[in-house]
Structure 1
Amino acid sequence: MIMKWTADRDLDAFRKYFEDQWLFSLSFWYEGSANLSPPINNGLESLNGKIKQMYTLRNKLSLSSFLQTAERILYDWSLASVNTPFAIQTEFTNDLATRAYQWLQKLDRTKVLHVGAASYVVPSSEPKMGTSLWVQYYQSMSWNSYGEFTDWLNSARLVDFSSLTLPLFCSCKYGLKEYSCVHSLGLIMMWDHRKVPQVLGIRRGKGHPKKVKLALTKD
């Protein structure tokens, strides 16, 4: 892209600006620079929304009012951290266990690759490349275009079990945000480290089962 802009006189000035601002000064601005980490700022936006909803009521405050509000926020949040401490362990819900088991039933286990001491690669729901090719890109980090990078990123998930205790790491959006997902829990089930949830069959209708047999039938 830079070579293409250099060849065009009208774009050469923009090329110099882009190189100075986005390649030399801010070289890690693009998605994928922090590999296998959340590329979004949902946590920051959620915190900002709570401040507007609970404290400022979406009004622009004067400096004196802002300092008083900031002091009240720090007091409330400090007190809340004592009454409701951070969770030190991730809990797997029954719903997640059921979905993990369903994912495991559809998984082609031959495509689960071991790529490190405690790291595994599993295919995503809509892969555009196989896990073997995915691992090659992961090791070389050589993508020819941004589209090629996104195809790679969405084709498989990297699950890491290097931590002996929860939470577990998975590169899917649920694993990065909630520290538990169908991929990590499904692999644990596959290795028989966690019991498979009871599979529900056809649900029986309401009321007690009928004991009366059909008419005109022999015992």
Structure 2
Amino acid sequence: MGSVERVSITASGPGRAYRGAPWWAVASAVLAPVALTAGWVVAGTVQPPEYSAVRQSLSALAGHGGAERWIMTTSLFVLGACHVITALGLSALRPAARLVLGGAGISGIALAALPQPANGSATSHVVSVVIGSILIATFPAFVGSRSRPQSFALSVRGSAIATAVFVALTVAFLISAQGGQYFGLVERVGLTPETIWPLVVVLALRRSARQDAGT
């Protein structure tokens, strides 16, 4: 009886910790950065000549002052939905990590639903941007586990490095938002790796699951 109990405990312990992620979580994690990049590239091509991707943010593309704003708005909706779907599939991670990524996704949907006016700024939009930026930047901090030292993306060290880099990029973004001439560039440079990181985590989980199945 005791041996059966020990086997059961082992199966629900390390075995559970090394479960992978479902295919649909991989698909949503892949689609997120693709949708974001495609959105700003396509939307940028239909803007008037005075538009500058270096100076102006993505919010300008999705705001009421942007030309064909539906393009960037749709991109942001898809990005947010993808983060939520990916979070649902990350059952191998602690609940806090899934909540943070899901919260970042909800913030993305909120900022798309609450666009900037043609002139000035909307507090609700700014709040959504700030909350979403903080959540996606700190997501790696909730992923790291000492039980997965063989995977950089899932290890405590790797998660700490990613968090430090993303927080620095977020701080630079928030500072540039105060009127920096490279606001748009800083935003895009920061968002790209932050949006890709959930995919890195998903792939690392699947790799760990395969390695665990082979032992």
Q: TM-score, normalised by structure 1?
A: 0.21
Q: Which protein is bigger by CA-based radius of gyration?
A: 1
Higher relative contact order, chain-length normalized (CA < 8 Å, sep 6+):
2
Higher strand share: 1
Q: TM-score, normalised by structure 2?
A: 0.21
Higher helix share: 2
